[in-house]
Amino acid sequence: MADADLRTLIAGAGPIVAMPQPSVPPADLQRSLNTLVHGTTVIAVKYDGGVLNVGDRRATANYSVMYDRAEKVLPIDDYTLLAISGSYARAMEVVRYLRHSFRYFERSQLQPMSLDGKLAELAKVVAASLPAALQGIGGFIPVFSAYDRVSHEGRIFFYDAMGARFESTDYAAAGSGSYQIRGVFNYIVKTRGPFHEMSRSEALREALLMLDIAADLDAATGGWSKVLPLAKTISAEGIEDVAEDELAAVTAEISALER
């Protein structure tokens, strides 16, 4: 059977659709792949009053540490946080787009975009990244946190690479170190109770402990020996940074457990 006939038999009557190909020569593409910067582990947990987001500060390219002060938890508007992992360049592009999109909607429609609308906008840009992700040059996975002013509660959503949306009841994580700590979430919930019943300080300690475990088990996740991790909360009062002195005290307490 000829190759053309075989393709027709497999595909049926419809056309054969080819995946997009890189527009740069293979040698140039390989050099680009070696210098692409990726973010690593981010964690979101609920607490009694809102949602806490933490992330390490390391950005990697292949096996090299390119930057150790990366911002991986970024505000989109007054009540929305995006924690990013994967392609740092693509994530920054998405953050800029979402900020503009949400602001434009509010100014043109004279009302804020609904939470469902925000989630749908993010789903579109995640799905649009799939061709680049399949080529290994532009995939990213976000964790979306918001304070819902209708139901008066913090909410956490995560996505797969095709833009499918899932809501978490208590926590979510993304990045290379998230796989190593999946069981830790369950252990904490079963031994210390749900995150959404914890105080802010309790949730912060548990989230930073998980980040420390991820750094121990994943080479791409940075610890805090040089730079403190990033932590932000979102609640009815809006978005707030966790102060560096509070982060320093909690990380010192966790480090003391290892001695």
Query: Active-site residues: which are they?
Result: 40
Token readout for 167 is: 């809501």
Output DSSP code: residue 45: E
> CA neighbours within 13 Å on the CB side: how many for 59?
17
Round to whole Å and give the CA distance between 247 and 250. 5
Round to whole Å and give the CA distance between 245 and 193. 27
Round to whole Å and give the CA distance between 167 and 217. 27
Tell how far CA 13 is from the center of its chain: 41
H/E run at residue 234: strand 230-235
Strands (E), 59-127: 59-61, 64-67, 73-77, 80-87
Output DSSP code: residue 237: T
Q: What is the DSSP string of 129-182?
A: THHHHHTTSS-EEEEEEEEETTTTEEEEEEE-TT--EEEESSEEEESTTTGGGH
Token readout for 6 is: 């075989």
